[in-house]
A and B are shown apart, each in its own frame.
Chain A
Amino acid sequence: AQSVTQPDIHITVSEGASLELRCNYSYGATPYLFWYVQSPGQGLQLLLKYFSGDTLVQGIKGFEAEFKRSQSSFNLRKPSVHWSDAAEYFCAVVSLLGGGADGLTFGKGTHLIIQP
C-alpha cells in the first residue's frame, strides 16, 4: 500500500527566511504527487503537482518542489516566506495505475508557523 510521510509536525520560520517541508512516499511505481495547503477554516488548495517530466516543479504563491526518485522524496520549498504562508501543508500521492479512480493518500501534515 502506498504511504506518505511528513516527518515534521510543526515548523517555525521567520518571515523572509527560506522554507523546506519534507515529504517521503512509499509506492512501487511512479506516483502522482501533490502538495496542498489548508488555511484555518478554508478548503484545500493545490500548490503544485508532479506527474512526469522535469523533476523540479513550480507552483503557485512562489512554491516549488523537487521530485527525487532515488530518495522517494518530494520536498516543498519557498525562498522567502510571508506571514500569509502560515497554514497546514499536506503532501499527497495517488496511484498512476488507478487511472484517476483512486483517492489520494495524504501525509499527516506539517503546521507552518511564521515568526515576525
Chain B
Amino acid sequence: GAVVSQHPSWVICKSGTSVKIECRSLDFQATTMFWYRQFPKQSLMLMATSNEGSKATYEQGVEKDKFLINHASLTLSTLTVTSAHPEDSSFYICSAPQGVSYEQYFGPGTRLTVT
C-alpha cells in the first residue's frame, strides 16, 4: 500500500523560532497533500491543502503567514511553523490521496512542542 512519511516525528523548539515539517509520499506521486492539526484528545482539523506547483489553499481561520506550506515536488510537501508560540504546540499530520478511490494515506504525525 501507499506509504506517507513525516519528519521529524517530534520536535521541541523555543518560542519565536521556526520549525519545518516534511511530508513525503514514498511510493507514489501526490499532486495534492493535506495538512491536519490535532490537539490532545481531540479530532483532526484540516489546516490546508498543499498543491504541487501552486499556492496552498488554507482553511478559514488558519493563518497562512504563520503556517507556510511548500509543495516543491510530487513527493514532498513542507509545513513551516513560523515564529512559533506555545499555543502552536500540537500534533501535525499530513495525508495524500492516491488513485481514484479518494482514499487518503496518512503520515505518522509530528509532535511539536513550543517552550
**A44–B34 contact, CB under 8 A?**
no
Contact partner of A103 (CB less than 8 A), chosen from B41, B42, B46, B103, is B46
Contact partner of B44 (CB less than 8 A), chosen from A49, A90, A102, is A90
**B102–A103 contact, CB under 8 A?**
no
Interface Cβ pair total, 8 Å cutoff = 53
Stretch from B12-20, B71-79, B82-90, B93-101 at the A interface: B93-101
Question: With contacts A94-B102, A100-B32, A101-B32 known, is A106 near B44, CB below 8 A?
Answer: yes
Of chain B, the residue at the smallest CB distance from A98 is: B102
**A43–B106 contact, CB under 8 A?**
yes
Q: How far is the CA of A96 from the CA of B93 in the complex (A)?
A: 22
Contact partner of A108 (CB less than 8 A), chosen from B34, B42, B59, B106, is B42
Which residues of A from 24 to 67 have beta carbons under 8 Å from B?
A: 32, 34, 36, 42-44, 46, 49, 51
- Give residues in B with beta carbon < 8 Å to A: 32, 34, 36, 41-46, 49, 59, 93, 95, 97, 100-104, 106-109
Beyond A42-B108, A103-B34, A104-B34, 6 extra complex contacts between A and B, CB < 8 Å: A43-B108, A43-B109, A51-B101, A103-B49, A106-B45, A108-B42
